[in-house]
Amino acid sequence: MNEINLPEKARDVLKRIRKKYKVGFEPLRIRDVELKILHVQDLEHLLAGKDPFADVSSFPFWVKLWEASLMLADIMASVPCEPGQTVLELGAGLAAPGLVAAARGYKVTLSDYEPHILDFQRVSAAANGLTDVDFRMIDWKKPPAITPFDTIIGAEILFRDDFFQPLLNVFNKYLAPQGTIYIAHDARRKSLPKFLDLAQKEYQIAVSARKMKSEEGELTIIINRLKKK
C-alpha cells in the first residue's frame, strides 16, 4: 500500500514507526473480510532466536501475527454483530481480530501496554478505512476506568502466571452484564490450563479445538468462550 493514500495523521505515525522498524503492509483475508495489516518485516532481527514457549518473559509477542490471532479473527468474522455492540481486544498486538471485528461493524477498542504497539494499530485501522476504532493503553495491574464492553477478546495473552489474577480483574471490570469473552491460544501454551482452572471459579467456560496449518506444520488452537456465572 502506498502511504500517500493514508490520512495525514496516520502518515505521520507511520513515519515515526519507520524510524525504528522496517515495516510493510501485508494482505489478510478472513472469510469475506480483506484487510491490510502493518507488520514488521525484519522479524529475525527482533526475535534473535527467542522461543515464545520457553522465553516468555522477554519474547516480543506483539510483533507476530499468531495463528491463534487468525483463528480469533475468524470467530469475529463469523459472529453476527448487533447494532452498537462493543468489543475490547486485550494485548492486541497487530490486532487482526479487532480489526476484523471493526470491519464487521463492531465498535472496537484496541489495547496494549506500549505506545509503539498502538501506533501499528492506528496505521492499520487507517489503512483499512476503519474509523470507529479506539486505542487504549491498558496496564492490567492498574486498569483505567472504561465503559464495559459487550465482548472481550484476546489471542496469546497468557504468558505470565503472575498476570492471571490481574487479567481476571480486568475481565470483571470491563465485561458488561451478559457479556462474552473469547480467548485463543496455541495448545502448546502450558499456562492455559492453569489460567482456566483459576477462571472457572467465576466463569462458565466452553472449549473448542481447531486445527490449522502453519509454517511449523499442523497446529491445534484452543478457543475458550467465557461467560460470567
Model pLDDT for residues 148-199, shown as the tens digit of each residue: 999 999 999 998 889 999 999 999 999 999 999 999 999 998 899 999 999 9
Residue 188 sits in a domain whose CATH number is 3.40.50.150
Distances, alpha carbon 103 to alpha carbons 22, 94, 225, in Å: 26, 15, 22
* Residue 211 β-bridge partners: 220
Question: pLDDT tens digits for 195-212?
Answer: 999 999 999 999 999 999
Name the residue range of residue 18's domain.
3-228
Are 17 and 119 spatial neighbours (Cβ–Cβ below 8 Å)?
yes
What CA–CA distance (Å, rounded) separates 193 from 170?
A: 19
| pLDDT score, position 160 | 84
Give which of 195, 196, 155, 187 is closest to 72, Cα–Cα. Answer: 155
Domain count of the chain? 1
Instruction: Using 70 as the pLDDT threshold, list the residues of the chain that sit under it.
Output: 1-4, 45-59
Give which of 154, 155, 169, 224 is closest to 202, Cα–Cα. Answer: 169
